[in-house]
Amino acid sequence: MAEGKKVKFSYDKLNMLCMDAFQKFGFSEEKARIITDVLLTADLYGIQSHGMQRMVRYYKGIQKGTMKVNAEPEVVFETPISAVIDGHSGMGQLNGHFAMELAIKKAKEVGVGIVSVRNSNHYGIAGYYAKMAAKENMLGFSCTNSEAIMVPTYASKAMIGSNPQAWCVPANPYDFLFDASTTVVTRGKLEMYNKLGKKLPDGWALDKNGQPTNNAGEVLSNIVGHVGGGIMPLGGNTEELGSHKGYGNGMVAEIFSSILSQGLTSDLVMKDGKAGTCHGFMAINLSSFGNPEAIKQHFSDYLQALRDAPKAVGQERIYTHGEKEMAAIKDREANGIPVIDKTMTEVYDLCQYLDLDFSKYFGDYVPPKADGMFTGNY
């Protein structure tokens, strides 16, 4: 069903497409299910920048050989509480899932597990992996670096990735889930604006001279060409509004991912035909601090106090982190998942490449032609 420049499809249809596509690429059914679950969880959460719209990026990565279908994660260093994993250029979702499962295992055994991964690829939303730990009644943390897109405060060239951090803590009636890039927005958000032909809002991006710009295609092209410019840190591009705080938080993610694993730092990711993305994971067993259920209830009471706090004039509701995601899931399960129509153009091309019947998934729907769409950001 059309809705402006977006279309809606059921979770089941998109799940079937993803499962078929990733198995066509050569992944086992189990591995295809993990990759698909990470992607569509993003769409269910309302994070379109990391859901279906990423399909073409993986398609291009597998074509180019930067994403290895047959790669297996390897533990190259380990202690009772920690590990370093070499992802061997495999899919980020598979390396991330493996790493967080190992962190959870260690946390069950000794109270905490910290795992750092090198030589991987884009792994989807960081919150997926933090949530894995919360499902085991643990505090979960995940972060990743990426190709350099963040321009450090007062610089003119991107040197740090979007470097998101995610934290998830068990609570009632829903977990606390905070997942955010340390840039003002992610690269995926720029890709969406570019597909929609929309100008970027002020305060998002810088051109190759370090000056503010509203041109999404130009910024994406500059990032790929490593010629300067990129996305601002959280707080913008000056200290007056806190740019140094976003910059610093990006460095925290860099430390847990590329520094502890001795992998590629963001300024070296996606160069010389190799992705080299790095991730960080941590699981903390709540029983290390007392009765897990008592801790969970204590936190739940505080979250409710936040929701019940006095509202600002004109505001009807205060949200806690993770609340909007739960509402988005309910809406999308009932009404379908919105996808940008130009993403569907990419999906159509993907189906042609893989010899999949597009109409099997989407009936009589015909996607638009990709006129004027920047395609060099993959």
* Residue-wise pLDDT tens digits, 91-102: 999 999 999 999
Q: Domain map of the chain by residue range?
A: 1-64+336-378, 68-184+234-328, 186-231
For the domain 1-64+336-378, what is the CATH code?
1.10.1530.10
Residue listed under structure tokens 């198995």:
23
According to DSSP, the residues that pair with 168 across neighbouring strands are 140, 177
User: Considering the chain, what is the average pLDDT of its residues?
Assistant: 93
Judge if 1-64+336-378 and 186-231 fold alike in CATH terms.
Answer: no
Cβ-contact 150, 162 below 8 angstroms:
yes
For residue range 258-281, list pLDDT tens digits in order. Answer: 999 999 999 999 998 899 999 999
Q: Would the pLDDT of 376 be above 80?
A: no
Q: Model confidence at 302, in pLDDT bands (50, 70, 90)?
A: very high
Tokens encoding 134: 């919360």
Q: Would the pLDDT of 375 be above 60?
A: no
Dihedral, 216, 191, 124, 145 alpha carbons, nearest 10 = -20
CATH architecture under which domain 68-184+234-328 falls: 2-Layer Sandwich (3.30)
State the pLDDT at residue 115.
99
Please, where are the H alpha helices in the chain?
A: 11-24, 29-45, 55-64, 92-110, 126-134, 187-196, 216-225, 243-254, 260-261, 292-307, 323-335, 341-354, 358-362
CATH 3.30.60.50 assigned to domain 186-231? The reply is yes
Average pLDDT over residues 44-62: 87
For residue range 130-170, list pLDDT tens digits in order. Answer: 999 999 999 999 999 999 999 999 999 999 999 999 999 99
pTM score, two decimals?
0.92
Average pLDDT over residues 210-217: 94
State the pLDDT at residue 53.
78
Q: Would the pLDDT of 84 be above 70?
A: yes
